Amino acid sequence: MANKRQESIPAGKVKRASRFLSTGIKVGGNYIKHFAKKATGENVTKESLDQANAEDIYGLLSELKGSVLKVAQMLSMEDQVLPVAYQEKFSLSQNRVPPLSGPLIRKTFVKYLSKKPSDVFDYFSPEAVYAASIGQVHKATLNDQTLAVKIQYPGVADSIQSDLKIARPLAAKLLNISLKDLDYYVKEVESKLIEETDYNQELIQGMFISEKCSHLEGIVFPEFKKELSSEKILVMSWLSGPSLKDYIEKYNGQDIIDSNSIGQALWNFYNYQVHNLKLVHADPHPGNFVITDEGKLGVLDFGCTKEIPDSFYNSFFALIDEGVLEDDRLLEKYLIELEIIRIDDSKDTKDYLISVYRNIIGMVAEPIIAGRFDFSDKKYFEKINNAGKALSKDKKLKKIGTARGSRHAIYINRTYFGLYRLLHMLKATINTNAFMEKVEM
């Protein structure tokens, strides 16, 4: 990797908070420089300010790693949330973060396996092949088999709660909700981030999903090495091929590999999990997949999964029924069950929320209702993005204020919006009826 290696990660609440503060001062300085240049007649743009701020903020997040960098990774997939400069910079968190140095890696091995890498493997690459928000991946060999060795950054799990506390006030302001209401959702995010730092749990999840989805066409899974893994080190067989991110960047618009087949494999993988397992790989970003030499989709990461309670599943997927969307009474019933409408809301509030959500759900469900959909359709995604921007500025919604929606929706919404985004990046046309037979429409 070309990235400069990182020798340490700031640890402890005070040290990490001070890094947030110093970066805040840098960003403030960028604004002062921007407006000073503007005042003297220099030709400066909002884009150049965004670029400078994104550089400084990403520099901080990539140094701290862990939960704050994971949030940046999630935001990099959201067109309507961040300016382009931030999206481009934050997308590096998918697999191109500055990696840790060799001594730190050896220290982690000795701590969790009581051995150095050279004692475990026939060969172990000193340089990381990929580095993301929570850990980095090295290539190794053992008994003529090539392996992927995922090593967690030191202190990541210990800093999750304190990092989220530091970020709470800013998040509450951006989302226009009280800290009390925000905490309801933060607990869900926090629990998932803590789960992601337990590689024993990821190994169990990966083995389960791999076994249950092994029959799906066009998709392959690594073989997990339980005997070589631990709480902070996860070993699996190496899946050769470019990451989905690199494939899209290199071959975008070229017919080297059938994007429709890859897109269909993605759709089938996610919808089989949701509708048959009621458990889903809830981290659909392009750094988590590779395109193998055979043109198949390889799944790399199983750290973030979400169990879907039956009660939530039934109410959530009832909403894609056109009959429900056209019936105010039924729509209100399901929106109450999903904690979007409250029993004590005024009639005006209920009517407004029904109108808003009918529009949103109708747009999101459009590909599913169509049965076959071209995800390269720019107008469709512009419509979705414009609707999201309009909602963020909706004064009536801001007045309604307090947090709305089941905590279970956080990762299910993230899964489907991430899936749609990947299919759009692939410019795939797919059969969206696949594995939807359990949903009554």
Report domain extents, the chain.
Answer: 13-94, 309-407
Q: Are the C-beta atoms of 212 and 187 separated by less than 8 Å? A: no
Lowest-pLDDT choice from 34-38, 187-191, 192-196? 34-38
pLDDT for 22 beyond 80: no
Looking at residues 380-389, what average pLDDT do you find? 88
Q: How confident is the model at residue 263 (pLDDT cuts 50, 70, 90)?
A: very high
pLDDT digits (tens, 9 = 90+) for 88-104: 555 554 445 556 677 78
Give, as one character, the DSSP assignment of residue 237. E
Q: How far apart are CA 340 and CA 334, in angstroms?
A: 9
Nearest to 267 by CA among 418, 99, 55, 105: 418
Strand pairing of 219-220 and 289-291?
unpaired
Q: What is the pLDDT of residue 1?
A: 44
Q: What is the pLDDT of residue 132?
A: 72
Q: What is the pLDDT of residue 115?
A: 92
Residue that wins the pLDDT comparison between 231 and 55 = 231
Residue 370 buriedness (CB in 10 A; 0-12 / 13-18 / 19+): exposed
Pair of tokens at residue 106: 């050896």
Q: What is the pLDDT of residue 388?
A: 80
Q: How far apart are CA 239 and CA 297, in angstroms?
A: 10
Q: How confident is the model at residue 279 (pLDDT cuts 50, 70, 90)?
A: very high
pLDDT digits (tens, 9 = 90+) for 32-83: 665 565 666 666 666 666 676 666 666 666 666 555 555 555 554 455 445 5
Q: What is the pLDDT of residue 10?
A: 54
pLDDT for 340 beyond 70: yes
Q: How far apart are CA 272 and CA 267, in angstroms?
A: 8
Looking at residues 116-122, what average pLDDT do you find? 94
Q: How far apart are CA 232 and CA 149, in angstroms?
A: 10
Q: Are the C-beta atoms of 58 and 92 separated by less than 8 Å? A: yes
pLDDT digits (tens, 9 = 90+) for 131-182: 777 788 999 999 999 999 999 887 777 777 777 777 676 566 555 567 777 7
Q: How confident is the model at residue 293 (pLDDT cuts 50, 70, 90)?
A: confident
Q: What is the pLDDT of residue 378?
A: 94
Encode 246-257 in three state secondary structure: HHHHHHCCCCCC
Q: What is the 3-state composition of the chain as percent helix, strand, coil, each rounded to the nearest 5? A: 55, 10, 30
Lowest-pLDDT choice from 57-61, 277-281, 292-296, 389-393? 57-61
pLDDT for 126 beyond 60: yes
Residue 310 buriedness (CB in 10 A; 0-12 / 13-18 / 19+): exposed
Share above pLDDT 90 across residues of the chain, in percent, rounded to a whole number = 43
DSSP-assigned letters across all residues of 92-148: GGGTBPPPBPHHHHHHHHHHHHSS-HHHH-SEE-SS-SEE-SSEEEEEEEETTEEEE
Q: What is the pLDDT of residue 349?
A: 95
Task: Please write down the long-range contacts of 200-204, taking CB distance under 8 Å and 24 or more positions apart.
Answer: 200/229, 200/230, 200/231, 202/234, 202/301, 202/302, 202/303, 203/229, 203/234
**3-class DSSP state for residue 403?**
coil
Q: How far apart are CA 277 and CA 271, in angstroms?
A: 9
pTM: 0.79
Helix (H) or strand (E) holding 419: helix 409-426
pLDDT mean across residues, the chain: 81
Q: What is the pLDDT of residue 124?
A: 95
pLDDT for 357 beyond 90: yes
Alpha helices in 153-295, H assignment, sequence order: 156-175, 179-196, 199-212, 244-251, 259-272
| Distances, alpha carbon 413 to alpha carbons 206, 262, 298, 405, 430, in Å | 21, 21, 23, 11, 20
Q: What is the pLDDT of residue 162?
A: 75
Looking at residues 179-193, what average pLDDT do you find? 77
Q: What is the pLDDT of residue 441?
A: 47
pLDDT for 85 beyond 70: no
